[in-house]
Each structure stands twice: as C-alpha cells, then as structure tokens.
Amino acid sequence: MTFSVSALAKKIPLVIAVGIFLVALCLGVSIFKERFTFIGTLSLKVYDEFIRQIQSPPKSGRVVFVDLDEESLLKEGQWPWPRYLVAELSMRILNGGASVLAYDIVFAEDDRTSPMNIKKALNERFGLDVQITGVPEDLEDNDKLFADTIAQSGSRIILGCVMRPISGVAEHVPDVDPYYHSRYLFRNTIKGAREDTWQNFILNGDKITLSIPLLNKAAGNNAFFNVIPDADNVIRQIPLVMTYGSKCYPSLALEALRIYLGAGKGVVCYDPVGGVEYIKLNDMGIPTDENGQILVWYRTLSKRSADTYSSFPSYSAKDVLSGALDCNVFSNKIVFLGSSAPGLKDIRATPITGEFSGVEVHATVVDNVLSGDVLLKPWLSDAVEVITILITGLFIVVLVHRGRALLSFLITVFVILLALWISLQLFTKLHYVFVPVRLVLSIALIYPVLTMIRFWQEERQKRQIRHMFGTMVSQDVLRYMEKNPETFSLSGHRAEATIFFSDVAGFTTISEALPPDRLSELLNRYLSPMTKIIMDRRGYVDKYEGDLIMAEWGVPFSMEDHAVQGCLAALEQQEKLEAIRAQLKAEFGHEIRVRMGINSGVVTAGNMGSDKRFSYTVMGDAVNLARRLEPVNKDYGTTICMGEETYERAKDAIEARLLDKITVKGKSKPIRIYELLGRRGGLSEIKARVAGLYEKGLGMYWERNWGDAIAAFEEALKLDPQDGPSRSMAERTREYMAHPPGDHWIGVYEKLDKE
C-alpha cells in the first residue's frame, strides 16, 4: 500500500487545508513575534486601552507628591534653588512625620549660590578678593547645610541618580561611587546553579550620574529615577534594579519601599534560566519580569489645578515653605519630591495621558506594591497564547467548514469578545496581563479568508447545482438546493426514494411513421408538460431516452412524502395527457398513450460516470423494479403500475387496487403490485365497485376457485367494459380452468421478459 500525497490532498476539503495552513502561519508569527513590529505596536496600544479601562484611584493611602510646580518656581525663583531652601523644604516634610522623602532629582553640581562659592567664582573670574560679612559660618556652604539635613534625617532621605542603560554587560566602568552601600543581594533560587548568572538578566549601565560627594556621603541612599520608555516613547514598565559594574542600584520606588518597610536588605531572587522572579523585602515578594522590571498599573488622574492633573495627593512646594500647608499631612507617608513644571522637562507619556509627571511613575509603583496591585505577566503567558491560538484557530476552521455563515459569524464575534472579556477579568481579578492581540489577529485573518473560500465554494457549488439540475427540477426546488447544499450530496450515498418510469405505447410504430422533425416536435409537445408536472411536484427528472422519462423523488434531497408526490405526479400526467390527446392526434395523426411504473425503496444516489463525463442518477434493486413495472401495464391493461412499498407509503393519499403477485426476471421472491387509480376520495362509485369486484375475484383466483373468480371479473366488466385488469385476469383464469397449474403454483404470475 503506497501513500499518495495528491490523493490525500483531494480528500481534504479546501477550507480545512487552507485553515490548517493559516493556523500554522499564525503560530509562526506568534512564536517569532519580535520580527513583526506592527503586532508589538498594536499589542501596546491594546494594553494601554486595558489600563485606561481598569484604572482606579490610589489604594494604599501612603503616597503623596510635593510638586516643584510653576507657582513655586515663580515665587522662589528658577531651579535649581539654593540648597538651604531645599534643606528647609526637606526638614518641614520630615518634621511633618514623613517616613520617606525621595528626591526625583540628582544634585550633580555644587550650589553656586553658596557664599563661599560666590567669593570663589569672583576671585577666579575677576581676581577680586570679595568679603561677604555677617554670614554665619554654618551658612557659608549651602551644600553642607543640606548635607547636614540629610544626615539628621535618619536615612529617610533618598537622593536620585541617573544611570544610562545598555544592552549586555558593561566592562571596565570607573568606580565613581566610593560611598556605595550594598543593600541588595542576589539569590539563586535553584540550588547548585552558578551564582553569577544574574548578570545575564539584570539591566546594566555604563554611566552613572550621582549627587556631589558631600551629599552622596551624607545620604548613603542613591536610587536611579530614570525610566526606559517603549519604542513609542510611552512609559509602561520600569526596572526596579540596575547594575553598574558589580554594584546593584535600586529604583527610586524600590528604595522608598525598602526604607518604608524597614528592610535592612533587599534580595533579588532569580532563576539562572528564566531570569528574575521577584524581589524580596522582608516577607514581601515583588514579582517582576525576567529583567527585574515591573509593569505600572497607573491610577486615575484627578484635576489639581486649571491645567494640571495628578494621581496622588499633591502639594505645592511653595505652600510647604510658606507654612500655608499643615505638614502633618505627610505623617507616616512616602513623599516623592519632583516637578510637574514643563520647563524642568520631567513630563512623560503614559498609557493614560501624554503629560504625566515623571516622579509620579515611581509613586504609582509604590502604591501598586503596597496595595497588592502588582501586574503580573507569567513567563508561560506566551506559551499559553500560542496554545490558545492553535485551539481557537482549529475551532474556527471547523466552524466555518461545518457551520452556517450567520452562526459562524456570531460565534466568531463571541469568541473575540470572550477573549477580550477574559483578558480584562484576568487584569482586574488576578492582575495577570494577557493582551490577546495575536489571538484576535489570528481570528481576524483565519475567519475572513476561510469565509471567502467558503463563499467561493458555495458560489461554485451553486453554479454546479444549477448546471446539473437547472433543467431537471423546478426553480423553487433549485433555489432550495442552492440555499441548503448540505441537504443533499453529489457523492455516492444511500437514500430512500421513489422512482418513476414512463414510456409511450407503440412509440416504435409512431417513430417509423413520422419524419424526424415531426417526431421531434411531437416529443417536445409531450415531454414539456410531463416534465413541468414532475418538477412542480418537486421531482428530479433524471433522464430522457427517446420517449422514456426517468424521474425520482427523495433525491438529490430528502423528502418525507416522496411516494405521495410521485403518485400524484403520475396521476396529473395522465390527466394532462387526456386533455391534450385529441389535439396531438389531430396534429400528428397518432394517439399518445403512456404506461408508467412507480416503485419506492433504498437506492444508491450520486454522480456516476467517468472522470470526464458524469451525471447525477440512482441505482439499485428499487430502480430496476420500477423500470420493469412500466411494461407490466401491458399485461393488465393498466396505465400506472406501482410496487407494494410505494402503495404502503402513499395509501393514505391515493386510491389503488391490488393487481397481482408477480415475479420479475432476476428475482425469485414474489411481489405485490398495485394499479394507481386516483387521489384519495376521488373514485366514482362505479370505479370503486369495479375495484372491489376485481380484488374479490383475485382472491378466488389465488384459491383456485376458477368459476367464482371468473364470475367476479365478468361482473366487474359489466360495470366497466373497458376495465383492462378484469378482462386480462378473466382470460388468464379461463386458461387455468382449462389447463390447471401444477401443485407448486401459489398464484404468482411470472413476468420473465423485461419489457
């Protein structure tokens, strides 16, 4: 047995084949998503919309913001302010009970407004030995004043620094931070693995900008405040730790949390294969991505002034300095000090707004952690999405292939909406980030393409149906078949059907007497109304063979009343013939009489023939019997002869009489045959009496009661001298009376010839 790819391809429906290809394509795109930037961009935009939909006000109640706003700059002068002013601002906040004061500022240069620095600058530039009198010694150096304030804060003040991140690990970086304190450790979560692999995951910097040594030494707490925007310059996540050489620096948010929670050390827990898992502060674990970054769940913005908004309680620095603000509002709070002033260029773009104060990004992270609202993106999420694309894609393929167009559309829309709803629920309930862009794009690709293919196939199928059946069934039936192609099959299948054959009596004589053109005209005049009647009764005209008509009911589409429709069509044809017979004889010189055979049963239906030429037809014993019942009419003087199965199926709608028990050529089992007389309740009293007398005589005939049988047949002929069955059976009975059959005879008439 050999395997044939081409043979297999022919067996796989086109929709399935293309669908599998598209699913594989979507899986490839999903796995190698980095190469398709438009998908990443779209995912970010959808993520932003999710954030906007689920944002809520701050929950921890522990974060506030002191703003170096425009009003403060107008009152106290441009930034940078003298450090004595910064020191006073810090003391007021700390004296108000603040737990932490985090500066979103780096003090990278000496304060040029210090008296000692002013004298030094004048001497260096102009050679002037200027003396400033009346200034106390402790106010000569503003930086020292601020440094003393920091030192007195009890490590509650965090100074900001700026680190330039790079890809990879920086080598040979200069040691510019002699006052560095190691407050963060790395811990491998897998025993026995190398302890230095964290460098493969943590973001590294090759340049760091710190506050001046005097302040740096006093603080001992340096934390970077710079963030790394995505490709579209929007801040969606920030690193909680970065390294500079062998030193680990926390972000402003992480260091504020460490101090607030009283954690002596922070522990960066990582998997040597999967990267950073979480950062531990005391008993609190802060989940991060593999690089130690955290997604920012932005809070709702509230209007603070005419043109400024803030997520957190925000206080103007000028109100703190002037005493207009009760600084007890800072009690047990984490205070971030930064600026919303556009001139200081600390305005960032976030998912919720294009103008967001940079310091509030760190404030938001702190609120996320303290309120348990940390967004999680499990490392398995990509694998889950790939599996979801596979399952959903195959489901859509089967749905489009097997389902109706409207149902497929509604289910597909439902699947998309369900994916979005589940994603939002994962966001809000479990804080899992699952943005189903690749899934939705996969559905948006697979469904329309397969629907177009299905539409094209259905249009082609409709053309095929119209080509094959357009002249064989009525227009109503044809439209039904086009709209419901699933109700029939063009391939071989078993079905219950009623088969009809009709033949013109003496057609050979007629064809010999008429010239070809007149014969053709006569056939058209006869066949046209007969065909219309069959079609009107939802029948399928299988074929014409000269004067012969073959038709079926029950195929190519199923009909419950196929036997009834076949019988009624036969009666209507005989009625039509009776109406046009005289006219045809007048025009063509021949009287047209037609014999019909009807039988019902199981057939094999489908396209049959060669691969070059084929037609839809039926085969089987039921078909053969119907064909042989048509010439049986000649033996009984009838016009419509039908099988027992047809009679049983249609008897409630027709009038019929039992004709005989016969065997046909090739069959040994006898069958009962019936003459179709008319519609139910449509027989005249005489016809009904004739039929009754005939069946009475037939019973006596089967019992070898020849005399009584003949008497019954002759009585029927007295009522209707034209009754063919009574005449035929009377003659046969007389023959048996004169020459009785053998003992094996059971009343069955053998019809040995086919015609």
Query: What does pTM read for this prediction?
Result: 0.64
Residue 476 lies in a domain: no
Write out the DSSP string of 147-201: HHHHHHTTS-EEEEEEEEEESS---S-----TT----EEEEESSTTS-SSGGGGT
- Neighbour count for residue 73 (Cβ, 10 Å): 18
In sequence order, the 6+-apart residues with CB closer than 8 A to the CB of 743 are none
pLDDT band per the 50, 70, 90 thresholds, residue 469: low
Write out the DSSP string of 691-755: HHHHHHHHHHHHTT-HHHHHHHHHHHHHH-TT-HHHHHHHHHHHHHHHS---TT--SEEEE-S--
Q: Is the peptide bond before 178 cis (omega within 30 degrees of 0)?
A: no
Q: Tell me which residue of 485, 496, 508 sits closest to 565, measured CA to CA.
A: 496
Residue 749 lies in a domain: no
What kind and span of H or E run contains 641?
A: strand 640-643
Q: Tell me which residue of 360, 401, 305, 327 sits closest to 98, measured CA to CA.
A: 327
* Phi, psi of 231, rounded to the nearest 5 degrees: -60, -30
pLDDT at 265 exceeding the cut of 70: yes
Half-sphere exposure of 193 (CA within 13 A, CB side): 16
**Are 666 and 689 members of one domain?**
no
């207009």: which residue's tokens? 324
Find the range with the poorest average confidence among 258-272, 306-320, 547-561, 667-681. Answer: 306-320
Is the distance from CB of 158 to CB of 256 less than 8 angstroms? yes
Q: What is the pLDDT of residue 592?
A: 93
Question: pLDDT digits over 65-84, tens only?
Answer: 999 988 889 998 888 888 88
Q: What is the pLDDT of residue 198?
A: 72
Q: Is the peptide bond before 556 cis (omega within 30 degrees of 0)?
A: yes
pLDDT at 280 exceeding the cut of 90: yes
**Are 91 and 174 members of one domain?**
yes
Helix (H), strand (E), coil (C) string for 259-318: HHHCCCCEEEEEECCCEEEEEEECCEEEECCCCCEEECCCCCCEECCCCCEECCCEEEHH
590 versus 112: which is more confidently predicted?
590
Q: What is the pLDDT of residue 7?
A: 45
Q: What is the pLDDT of residue 274?
A: 80
261-272 average pLDDT score: 90
- C-alpha to C-alpha distance for 92 and 94, rounded to whole angstroms: 6
**Are 543 and 583 members of one domain?**
yes
Find the range with the poorest average confidence among 49-63, 86-100, 129-143. Answer: 129-143
3-state DSSP assignment of residue 222: strand
- C-alpha to C-alpha distance for 619 and 605, rounded to whole angstroms: 7
Question: pLDDT digits over 670-713, tens only?
Answer: 899 999 999 999 899 999 999 999 999 999 999 999 999 999 99
Q: Tell me which residue of 64, 705, 125 sits closest to 332, measured CA to CA.
A: 64
- C-alpha to C-alpha distance for 348 and 353, rounded to whole angstroms: 9
Is the distance from CB of 677 to CB of 691 less than 8 angstroms? yes
The answer to whether the Cα torsion of 463, 464, 469, 474 is positive or negative is negative
Q: Which DSSP symbol is given to 46?
A: H
Question: pLDDT digits over 338-391, tens only?
Answer: 888 876 767 888 888 888 888 899 999 999 999 998 988 877 778 888 899 899
**Are 46 and 81 members of one domain?**
no
**Are 297 and 417 members of one domain?**
no
**Are 600 and 500 members of one domain?**
yes
404 versus 92: which is more confidently predicted?
92
pLDDT at 486 exceeding the cut of 60: no
439-444 average pLDDT score: 89
pLDDT at 276 exceeding the cut of 60: yes
pLDDT at 461 exceeding the cut of 70: no
Is the distance from CB of 59 to CB of 367 less than 8 angstroms? yes
Range of the domain at 570: 493-682
- C-alpha to C-alpha distance for 584 and 533, rounded to whole angstroms: 18
pLDDT at 326 exceeding the cut of 90: yes
Q: What is the pLDDT of residue 275?
A: 86
């397969």: which residue's tokens? 450
Of 306, 335, 370, at which residue does a domain stop? 370
Q: Tell me which residue of 642, 678, 648 sits closest to 660, measured CA to CA.
A: 642
Q: Is the peptide bond before 378 cis (omega within 30 degrees of 0)?
A: no
* Phi, psi of 242, rounded to the nearest 5 degrees: -140, 160
Q: Tell me which residue of 538, 543, 594 sits closest to 564, measured CA to CA.
A: 538
**Are 707 and 647 members of one domain?**
no
**Are 280 and 165 members of one domain?**
yes
**Are 233 and 307 members of one domain?**
yes
pLDDT at 2 exceeding the cut of 70: no
Q: Tell me which residue of 754, 755, 732 sits closest to 745, measured CA to CA.
A: 732
Question: pLDDT digits over 199-235, tens only?
Answer: 778 888 889 999 999 999 998 888 999 888 888 899 9
Q: Tell me which residue of 355, 325, 322 sits closest to 339, measured CA to CA.
A: 355
Q: What is the pLDDT of residue 310?
A: 83
Of 370, 395, 419, at which residue does a domain stop? 370
pLDDT, the chain, mean: 85
- C-alpha to C-alpha distance for 114 and 84, rounded to whole angstroms: 9
- Neighbour count for residue 378 (Cβ, 10 Å): 13
CATH code of residue 598 = 3.30.70.1230
3-state DSSP assignment of residue 617: strand
Question: pLDDT digits over 493-546, tens only?
Answer: 788 999 999 999 988 889 889 999 999 999 999 998 998 999 889 888 888 888
302 versus 237: which is more confidently predicted?
237
Q: What is the pLDDT of residue 490?
A: 54
**Are 544 and 689 members of one domain?**
no
Residue 148 lies in a domain: no
Find the range with the poorest average confidence among 111-120, 456-465, 548-557, 720-729. Answer: 456-465
Q: What is the pLDDT of residue 282?
A: 93
In sequence order, the 6+-apart residues with CB closer than 8 A to the CB of 300 are 55, 56, 57, 311
560 versus 128: which is more confidently predicted?
560
- C-alpha to C-alpha distance for 20 and 14, rounded to whole angstroms: 10
Is the distance from CB of 643 to CB of 599 less than 8 angstroms? yes
Q: How many structural domains is the chain composed of?
A: 4
Residue 713 lies in a domain: yes
6 versus 171: which is more confidently predicted?
171
Is the distance from CB of 207 to CB of 242 less than 8 angstroms? no
How far does the chain reach from its first CA to its final CA, in angstroms? Answer: 46
pLDDT at 484 exceeding the cut of 70: no
Q: Tell me which residue of 464, 376, 352 sits closest to 426, measured CA to CA.
A: 376
**Are 677 and 689 members of one domain?**
no
281-305 average pLDDT score: 88
109-134 average pLDDT score: 69
Write out the DSSP string of 2-31: ---HHHHHHHS-HHHHHHHHHHHHHHHHHH
Of 634, 650, 682, at which residue does a domain stop? 682
pLDDT at 5 exceeding the cut of 50: no
Residue 428 lies in a domain: yes
749 versus 627: which is more confidently predicted?
627
pLDDT band per the 50, 70, 90 thresholds, residue 570: very high
In this structure, are strands 493-504 and 594-609 parallel, antiparallel, or unpaired? antiparallel
148-152 average pLDDT score: 91
**Are 629 and 607 members of one domain?**
yes
Residue 642 lies in a domain: yes
Question: pLDDT digits over 608-635, tens only?
Answer: 765 555 577 889 999 999 999 999 999 9
């979560």: which residue's tokens? 189
The answer to whether the Cα torsion of 558, 564, 566, 568 is positive or negative is negative
Length of the chain: 755
Residue 557 lies in a domain: yes
Residue 141 lies in a domain: no
Residue 668, token pair as written in the block: 């040994």
